[in-house]
Chain A
Amino acid sequence: MQWSCDRTGFPVLELSELRLAVHLWPVCKPQFERYLAEPNGPGDTWYEQLLAVWPRASLMNLDSQTYESAMIGGIQPAEAQAFAKWLGMGFNLPTTDAWRSVDRALAASPLTQDDVTSLRSDRNLHRTAGRMLELVLQLSPQNWGQLALLRGGMLEWVINGPKTFGGLGVPRPHFYSMIMNPQRDRPVQPLRNGRHKFFGFRLVRLLQ
Chain B
Amino acid sequence: MPEFTVFEQWYSLTLEPGPRPVLVLDTSESAKAFWPVLRSLTEGVLEIMPAESWPRIFFLGNPQIHDASEFLANADRWFQANAGRGSFISPVFEALQAETDIAIVIVGNGMIFDLPDWHGHNLAEHAIWCRYGPAEMTAGKYSEESYTVEQMVEKLSNPALRIEISGPGAMPFYWDDSAFRWEQGKLVGAKTTGSLTLGLLSPEPDAAKAHVVLSNGIRRELPLANAEPLRLPDWKNLPGKEDNLLRQCLRQGKYRCPHCNQDHAAGQWRCMDGSAPPVFPVMEEMGKQGFCLVNSEPWQGQGRAHPCGALKLADDLVAVRQSDGAAALVRFDPRNNTWRVTNDKFGPMQPVVNKIHAMVM
Query: How big is chain A's contact interface, by range?
Result: 20 to 34
| CB of A79 to closest CB in B, whole Å | 14
A-B contact count (CB 8 A): 66
Smallest Cβ-Cβ distance to B135: which chain A residue:
A44
> Is B325 an interface position by the 8 A CB rule?
no
A40: interface (CB < 8 Å): yes
| B-contacting residues, A28-85, CB 8 Å | 30, 33-34, 36-45, 47-48, 51, 56-61
**How many Å lie between the Cα of A47 and that of B112 in the bound state?**
11
**CB <8 Å contact, B117 and A37:** no
- Nearest chain A CB to B68 CB, angstrom units: 21
Whether, in the assembled complex, A128 has its beta carbon less than 8 Å from a beta carbon of chain B, the answer is yes
Q: Smallest CB-CB separation from B121: which chain A residue?
A: A60
Q: In the complex, A56 Cα to B85 Cα: how many Å?
A: 18
**Least Cβ distance of B93 to chain A in Å?**
11
Q: How far is the CB of A160 from chain B (nearest CB, A)?
A: 30
Chain B residues bordering chain A, tally (CB within 8 A): 23
Q: Which residue of A lies closest to B83 (CB)?
A: A39
Q: Which of B111, B113, B119 has the most CB of A within 10 A?
A: B113
Cβ–Cβ contact A44 & B86, under 8 A: yes
- On chain B, the residues within 8 Å of A39 by CB distance are 81-85
One of A37, A45, A60, A61 near B85 (C-beta < 8 A):
A37
Most buried by B among A30, A33, A40, A42: A33
* A36, A41, A47, A58 interface centre (most CB from chain B within 10 Å): A36
Complex: how many Å from CA A38 to CA B84? 8
Given contacts A33-B90, A33-B113, A56-B113, contact A43 B84 (CB under 8 A): yes
12 A-B contacts (beta carbon < 8 Å): A36-B86, A37-B61, A37-B62, A37-B85, A37-B88, A37-B91, A38-B85, A44-B110, A56-B116, A57-B116, A58-B117, A60-B116
List CB contacts (< 8 Å) of B254-278 with chain A.
none
CA distance A95 to B86 in the complex (A): 30
Given A36-B61, A37-B62, A37-B91, 12 new contacts (CB under 8 A)? A33-B90, A33-B114, A36-B88, A39-B83, A39-B84, A40-B83, A41-B84, A44-B29, A44-B30, A44-B113, A56-B114, A58-B119
User: Is there an interface contact between A128 and B117, defined as CB atoms closer than 8 Å?
Assistant: yes
Q: Which of A30, A38, A43, A45 contacts B114 (CB 8 A)?
A: A30
CB of B87, distance to nearest CB on chain A (Å): 5
Q: Which residue of B lies closest to A43 (CB)?
A: B29
Query: Which residues between 108 and 158 of chain B lie within 8 Å of chain A, taking CB atoms?
Result: 110-111, 113-114, 116-117, 119-120
* Nearest A residue to B86, CB-CB: A36
* Chain B min CB distance to A39 (Å): 5
Interface of B, secondary structure class, is loop
- Which residues of B from 78 to 101 have beta carbons under 8 Å from A? 81-88, 90-91
User: Closest residue of chain B to A60, judged by CB?
Assistant: B117
Is there contact, CB below 8 Å, between B114 and A44?
A: no
Q: In the complex, what residues of B have CB within 8 A of residue A34's CB?
A: 91
Query: Chain B contacts of A57 at CB under 8 A?
Result: 116
* B302 interfacial by beta-carbon distance below 8 Å: no
A87 → B minimal CB distance (Å): 16
Q: Which residues of B lie under 8 Å from residue A59 when comparing CB positions?
A: 117
A44 touches B28 (CB 8 A): yes
Q: Is the CB of B90 within 8 A of A30?
A: yes
Residues of A contacting B29 with CB < 8 Å? 43-45
Question: Do B117 and A30 touch (CB < 8 A)?
Answer: yes
In the bound assembly, the distance between CA atoms of A168 and B116 in angstroms comes to 31
Q: Which residues of A contact B28 (CB under 8 A)?
A: 43-44
Tell me the minimal C-beta distance from B135 to chain A in angstroms.
Answer: 9
Instruction: Give every chain B residue within 8 A of A38 (Cβ-Cβ).
Output: 61, 85-86
Closest chain A residue to B80, Cβ basis: A39
| Chain B residues, CB < 8 A from A40 | 83-84
- B30 to chain A: which residues have CB within 8 Å? 44
User: Which residue of B is nearest A58, CB measured?
Assistant: B116
A37-B85, A39-B85 known; A44-B117 Cβ under 8 A: no
Question: Which residues from chain A contact B84 at a C-beta distance below 8 Å?
Answer: 39-41, 43
Task: Collect the chain A residues with CB atoms within 8 Å of residue B83's CB.
Answer: 39-40
User: A61: which B residues are within 8 A, CB to CB?
Assistant: 116
A60 near B88: Cβ-Cβ < 8 Å: no
Are the CB atoms of B114 and A60 closer together than 8 Å? no
Min Cβ gap A100→B in Å is 34
Instruction: Tell me the minimal C-beta distance from A56 to chain B in angstroms.
Output: 6
Pick the 6 closest A-B CB pairs, nearest first. Answer: A36-B86, A37-B61, A58-B116, A37-B88, A43-B29, A40-B84
